[in-house]
Amino acid sequence: MCGIAGLFSKSLDVSGGLGSHLGAMLMQLSDRGPDSAGVAVYREPAPIGSSKLSLFSPDPDQDWGAVRDALAREFGAGEHELRASHAVIVVETDAEAAQAWVREHLPELRVMSAGQTIEIYKEAGSPREFIEAFALDEMRGSHALGHTRMATESAVTTEHSHPFSTGLDLCLVHNGSLSNHNLLRRRLRHEGIQFETDNDSEVAAGYLTYRLREGATLEQALEGCLEDLDGFYTFAVGTAEGFAVLRDPIACKPAVMAETDEWVAMASEYRAIAVLPGAETATMWEPEPGRVYSWERARV
């Protein structure tokens, strides 16, 4: 069992309180996932020509100033923004180059996300601890995904937590379990997709990364899951413009969606939506199995 939540803002009010709304949703999903928690928040886009990295260090004494200085010397970089075990740094180069450089020169760090707007934070521990340690309440943004984890098939660590990055500005959260992930992981490695854990959800993320790299649209990649993934899943996928939801063809895992003039939300259980302003009168429905639902902000 895990809990997932997504919130897409349609108003300045909701954007201004995005982190605190998402935190309230995660608190309601604590029973479904007391082991770990994580979020992907889409906010404060990096300037054109720059990109944003979310970095994690297992070392509590990590010298983030030195990391920032090294990136500044190589590419130019802004000040780092520290949140618990993670730091976000805007780098004056494209996301792929920045990510590759960190992986090569600072292998002790993990790149949790890379892109223009995405920031990923995740950690072992209860959702309440996570929300406080990462100061989630103060985050503003356009949309966000969250996850509370109850581990069923692999270890409880930061790296095993969700969301998983699936490419630039893309991420996945998963409720469920996959049964063909070992076979699929081997095949995807053969295609050059890298994996950092033995976690099944990371394979789903890797699968999406692979399909998108090969030219599929997000919708095509998700529809491919229906063919190629064996198991139970409700997925929520974050993109730079919005998010998408997919349930397995027999709908083993729960999901409910709701929409008002101010927001669109999805969650494993309605009680996580009930904490949002105006939830009582929201349009509400249960997403059908095997169908891709997506929301996008119009590109300006």
| From 115, 269, 293, 295, residue interacting with another protein (rule: CB under 8 A) | 269
**Rounded CA separation 68/189 (Å):** 31
Answer for which of 61, 108, 227, 280 binds another protein (CB under 8 A) is: 280
Q: Please give the helix or strand (H or E) that residue 48 lies within, else none.
A: none
- For another protein, the closer CB: 227 or 281: 281
**Integer-rounded Cα radius of gyration of the chain:** 18
Sign of the torsion formed by the C-alpha atoms of 97, 99, 103 and 107: positive
Q: Does 250 bind another protein (CB under 8 A)?
A: yes
Alpha-carbon span 91 to 78, nearest angstrom: 7
150 binds another protein (CB under 8 A): no
Return the number of the residue (97 or 279) whose C-beta is nearest another protein.
Answer: 279
Residue 256 binding another protein, by CB under 8 A: yes
The distance of closest approach from Cβ of residue 284 to another protein in the complex, given in angstroms and rounded to an integer, is 6
Interacting span for another protein (CB under 8 A) from 56-64, 140-148, 155-163, 273-281: 273-281
Binding of residue 277 to another protein (CB under 8 A): no
What count of residues does the chain have?
300
Residue 284 binding another protein, by CB under 8 A:
yes
For 78-112, the DSSP string reads ---EEETTEEEEEESS-HHHHHHHHHHH-TTSEEE
In the chain, which ranges are E strands? 2-9, 36-42, 51-56, 81-83, 86-91, 110-115, 118-124, 143-149, 164-167, 170-178, 231-238, 242-247, 256-259, 263-267, 283-285, 293-296
Cα-Cα-Cα-Cα torsion 59, 60, 65, 66, nearest 10 degrees, comes to -30
Please tell me whether residue 275 binds another protein under the rule CB under 8 A. yes
Amino acid (one-letter) located at 42: Y
**Based on CB atoms, which residue is closest to another protein, 33 or 167?**
33
Active site residue 2: yes
Distance from C-alpha of 205 to C-alpha of 235, rounded to nearest angstrom: 10
34 binds another protein (CB under 8 A): no
The token pair that represents 42 in the structure block: 């889409």
Instruction: Report if residue 285 touches another protein, rule: CB under 8 A.
Output: yes
Which residue lies nearer to another protein by CB, 30 or 197? 30
283 is an interface residue for another protein by CB under 8 A: no
Shortest distance, position 133 Cβ to another protein, whole Å: 27
Q: How many residues bind another protein (CB under 8 A)?
A: 18
Our CB check for another protein shows the closer of 18 and 24 to be 24
Binding residues for another protein, rule: CB under 8 A, are: 250-251, 254, 256, 269-275, 279-280, 284-286, 288-289
